[in-house]
């Protein structure tokens, strides 16, 4: 299978460029989040000096998959690929191999956070990260830690605090009955999946992994709702029965 590839029209990227220079180019193309954990020192680069997607020249880039491999067709092969313009195509095109559609392992980040395995809209199994467990406020996301007065003190690492804060919206929606829109729920589902995969709204538009049948369940797994419900049911069964009205408990 093969990860998506990205065409930046009118852009020239050289292997000898600094990481900062490459990062700035990727940022300008709107794919900084997708490439956030990619080692740009070894970024696969393919110059397109002739006419590529949209009849433009530029540069094709990708990232190595979980097996440290590039796609079998890394370049512009019009007959074997489908190319999709992002917006008007002036900054970015995304290419998919017709014979090798992306699989979760192709788009997997260097670090994957534990949670629930779930079949999504493409028929493949994806790992949904446990971001917040409301019963004990635990998380699968990385934390700093130290010992103070014999106790372990942990704090979520700065890079993951936004995910943690947004997960409170999800918890409030499921457990406190607070409403949030379908658009917001979809955004949060994509954001959660992006923790474990090089995946964002552009990739979702092409692959349709998150859909109307799975986005709510996906979100429920990010707050470990099966565990939360199990704890709630256990507490109900173990609570002492209330005495009849008017009957003394003494």
Span 95-128, pLDDT tens digits = 999 999 999 999 999 999 999 999 999 999 999 9
Single residue among 105, 121, 142 that ends a domain in this structure: 105
68 contacts: CB under 8 Å, gap ≥ 6 = none
The CA-atom distances, in angstroms, between 26 and each of 30, 78, 91, 107, 172 are 7, 23, 10, 17, 35
Same-domain status, 98 and 117: no
* pLDDT digits 0-9 by tens, 120-178: 999 999 999 999 999 999 999 999 999 999 999 999 999 999 999 999 999 999 999 89
Same-domain status, 231 and 134: yes
Single residue among 105, 133, 150 that ends a domain in this structure: 105
* pLDDT digits 0-9 by tens, 5-53: 999 999 999 999 999 999 999 999 999 999 999 999 999 999 999 899 9
Same-domain status, 144 and 87: no
Same-domain status, 124 and 222: yes
Here the tokens at position 77 are 């092969």
Domain that holds residue 214: 112-235
Same-domain status, 90 and 163: no
CB 51 within 8 A of CB 57: yes
- Provide the CA 103 distance to its chain's centre, in angstroms: 14
Same-domain status, 134 and 77: no
Single residue among 49, 77, 105 that ends a domain in this structure: 105
- Domain total in the chain: 2
Same-domain status, 24 and 96: yes
The CA-atom distances, in angstroms, between 51 and each of 10, 29, 59, 105, 167 are 11, 19, 11, 31, 44
Same-domain status, 165 and 56: no
Helix (H, G, I), strand (E, B) or coil at 111: coil
Quote the mean pLDDT of the chain: 93
242 occurs within a structural domain: no
Cα–Cα distance measured from residue 115 to residue 238, given in angstroms and rounded to the nearest whole number: 28
Split at pLDDT 50, 70, 90, the class of 241 is low
Same-domain status, 100 and 121: no
């Amino acid at each position: 299978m093969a990860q998506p590839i990205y065409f930046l029209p009118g852009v020239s990227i050289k292997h000898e460029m600094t990481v900062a220079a490459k990062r700035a180019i990727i940022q300008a193309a709107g794919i900084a989040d997708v490439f956030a954990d990619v080692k740009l020192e070894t970024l696969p680069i393919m110059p397109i000096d002739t006419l590529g997607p949209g009849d433009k020249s530029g540069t094709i880039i990708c990232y190595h998959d979980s097996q440290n491999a590039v796609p079998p067709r890394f370049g512009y092969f019009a007959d074997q690929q489908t190319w999709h313009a992002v917006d008007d195509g002036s900054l970015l095109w995304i290419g998919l191999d017709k014979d090798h559609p992306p699989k979760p392992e192709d788009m997997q980040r260097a670090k994957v956070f534990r949670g629930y395995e779930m079949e999504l809209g493409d028929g493949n199994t994806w790992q949904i990260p446990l971001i917040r467990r409301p019963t004990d406020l635990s998380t699968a996301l990385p934390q700093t830690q130290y010992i103070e007065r014999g106790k372990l003190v942990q704090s979520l690492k700065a890079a993951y605090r936004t995910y943690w804060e947004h997960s409170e919206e999800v918890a409030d929606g499921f457990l406190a009955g607070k409403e949030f829109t379908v658009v917001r729920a979809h955004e949060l589902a994509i954001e959660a999946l992006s923790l474990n995969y090089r995946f964002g709204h552009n990739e979702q538009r092409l692959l349709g992994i998150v859909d109307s049948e799975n986005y709510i369940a996906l979100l429920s797994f990010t707050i470990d709702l099966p565990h939360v419900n199990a704890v709630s049911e256990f507490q109900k069964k173990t609570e002492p029965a209330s005495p009849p009205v008017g009957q003394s408990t003494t």
